[in-house]
Chains A and B, each alone.
Chain A
Amino acid sequence: MSTTATAVGVSSKRGIWGGGNEPLKASYGKLMMWFFLLSDIFTFAAFLTAYAAIRVSYPGYAGPEDVFVGSNEYWPVPEMVFDAIPFFHGAHIPLAFVGLMTFILIMSSVTMVLAVEAGHRNDRPDVVKWLLWTLLGGITFLSCQAWEWSHFIHGTDGGSMITYVNKLGQVVSETVYGANLAVNEYGPAAFAQLFFFITGFHGFHVTIGVFLLFLAFYQAAVGVYERRGHYEMVEKIGLYWHFVDLVWVFVFTFFYLI
């Protein structure tokens, strides 16, 4: 499964210095996908570490959680910010929706690995079936994230009293609803900025993943991979999709738990 191409005309007698060796025993495409993912790990790690650095530069909310009010003086408690789910307006159900999103993404990762496994067996109906499930999971996750963003931007019914410097440079105290890049009702401006920046960048990755999954689903269904003789494309897209899940595991911990 790892070796699909060997150098043509290389005699095994040429030895280790004769060229044509494959020390990594992986095809070009898979190797490049791994190194791209390594660079992407660094990008996301830089974002999340920046989040942690900015997070510790603010005091955390120290009071009891049931009387929490948003303020830009301290970093908010995630349970009190992310507590909404669709169709239950105003209800306080902490972390349930983001838990559902995590579940959806992990399950789509599982169906992806099943598609890759089916690809190793050249089992086209199975590949198509599992890729379709993965695609559905990806689209569902993106829809959930769209709702989450929409709710975050529009805010709660009550809003919060925030004192901040407005665009004209004046210090104002007013009730703020929802969030934008300048001010938000949950915490310091950096809180919403980082939320938009990091979950947005992850969502962008998921979007690209959904396009790639659709491509793989379509090509597998019409038999492109069968004619090609292998399902390596499913494997490469699978690596990318698992990476997206991997990043979400970290985003979940840093944004919604800590």
Chain B
Amino acid sequence: MAAEENKSTLEVIPRNEEKIKKIWKTAGILLVLTSIEFVFAFTLPRGLLLYAIFIGLTIWKAKYIMMEFMHLGEEAKPLFYSIIVPLIFLVWLVIALMREGSDIFMIRW
């Protein structure tokens, strides 16, 4: 009886090796980008340039995760933009709070 219940009723589509290969390729890219960050953390001198490289690589990785893993790129355009466009507000947040932080620094030290 149990076996009857568990029998597949949905049609199973065979694996699309190309799609699976693309997933592993994205994984490889993410790991390579992380390794690059690691190498830079120990070889380049600390400073604005290094921080800019780190943030750039991080956003690059974020793009891969959102587009390839979360399939945001395959969603309808209105959905895509309703997720991406509000993130513009973060630019303001970062600029405002960094100014605030450096002003506190000037007063304190």
Contact = CB atoms under 8 A, between A and B. Distances in A.
Given A56-B101, A121-B13, A106 B31 contact: yes
Contact of B65 (A45, A77, A79, A242): A242
Chain A, interface size: which category? 35 or more
Contact of A26 (B19, B55, B79, B93): B79
B54 A253 contact: yes
B4 to A, nearest CB: 11
B13 A122 contact: yes
A223 B5 contact: yes
Interface of A: 2, 23-26, 31, 34, 37-38, 41-42, 45-46, 49-50, 52-60, 77, 79, 94-95, 99, 102-103, 106-107, 109-110, 112-114, 117, 120-124, 126, 223, 226-227, 229, 238-239, 242-243, 245-246, 249-250, 252-253, 257-258
A79 B58 contact: no
B84 to A, nearest CB: 9
A14 B16 CA distance: 38
Nearest to A78: B41
B37 to A, nearest CB: 6
B65 A249 contact: yes
Contact of B30 (A45, A57, A106): A106
B61 A249 contact: yes
Contacts of A99: 34, 38
Contacts of A42: 86, 89-90
A34 B105 contact: no
A111 to B, nearest CB: 9
5 contacts: A41-B87, A45-B93, A226-B8, A227-B9, A258-B54
A122 B12 contact: yes
Given A58-B105, A110-B24, A246-B65, A226 B10 contact: yes
A229 B66 CA distance: 27
Contact of A45 (B5, B57, B75, B90): B90
A246 B62 contact: yes
Max chain A C-beta neighbours (<10 A), residue from B69, B90, B104, B109: B69
B83 A46 contact: no
A60 to B, nearest CB: 7
B107 to A, nearest CB: 9
Contacts of A46: 93
Given A57-B101, A57-B105, A226-B8, A2 B76 contact: yes
Contacts of B19: 117
A45 B38 CA distance: 23
B24 to A, nearest CB: 7
5 smallest A-B Cβ distances: which pairs?
A: A53-B101, A57-B104, A122-B10, A53-B97, A56-B101
A123 B76 contact: no
B100 A53 contact: yes
Nearest to A22: B76
A254 to B, nearest CB: 8
Interface string B76-92: 10110011001101100
A61 to B, nearest CB: 9
A85 to B, nearest CB: 15
A117 B19 CA distance: 8
Nearest to B102: A56
B83 A34 contact: yes
A52 B23 contact: no
